Chain A
Amino acid sequence: GQNIDQPTEMTATEGAIVQINCTYQTSGFNGLFWYQQHAGEAPTFLSYNVLDGLEEKGRFSSFLSRSKGYSYLLLKELQMKDSASYLCAVRERRQLSFGAGTTVTVRA
């Protein structure tokens, strides 16, 4: 199994940058995903990393270091609508396991 750790909550100001860290331990790493989940809704896919390095997708970027068991999700130019829970998920073989999620609150 995996131990997936990410901070519980983060608060940032509109227009700022926030970085959400995720550490994991797994024996059969097969990719790391970041999802966004608004309250009462299902998760929506944000990014996928399977090789080391940075993946950029508009205002969102995700980084992976497999040797360190570490990833981060970077949210730039924060908007109010970015207030949500961000889930780090690790795929081990063909099964996804989720971290507890980081609740990001964007303030004006």
Chain B
Amino acid sequence: GAVVSQHPSRVICKSGTSVKIECRSLDFQATTMFWYRQFPKQSLMLMATSNEGSKATYEQGVEKDKFLINHASLTLSTLTVTSAHPEDSSFYICSARGGGSLSYEQYFGPGTRLTVT
């Protein structure tokens, strides 16, 4: 089946620093990648959608200058949390969707636990 990886799985950073999270589709080409955020005991909230080679589309209330998304290739998307604050501490999950027979399903990465101190 389709596999999506994320790196790192956990990261602790100091307030004011930036953190980059990578999302890779390992065995398929991801035409679209999604970034979600999940706070404890809450559901996944879509942050942004990105298509390879074009700018990401951000959901309402998500600051595009704070959460930088790059989808430079069909197998890699990155999310950079800039000037992180403790309230950015959350579980960040990426998801990828391919084309053709893979186009109906989204495959999720294992998530990245970000803690900002």
Contact = CB atoms under 8 A, between A and B. Distances in A.
B43 A96 contact: no
Contacts of B32: 94
Contact of B44 (A43, A48, A94): A43
Contact of A101 (B43, B49, B104, B109): B43
- Size range of the interface on A? 20 to 34
Contacts of A98: 43-45
- Size range of the interface on B? 20 to 34
A97 B107 CA distance: 14
A108 interface: no
A24 to B, nearest CB: 13
Q: Specify the main secondary structure of chain A where it touches its partner.
A: strand
Nearest to A6: B43
Q: Specify the main secondary structure of chain B where it touches its partner.
A: strand
B106 A48 contact: no
B42 A41 contact: no
Contact of B105 (A40, A41, A45): A45
A44 B108 CA distance: 7
B104 A40 contact: no
B110 A97 contact: no
Contacts of B91: 40
A35 to B, nearest CB: 8
Interface of A: 31, 33, 35, 40-45, 48, 50, 87, 94-101
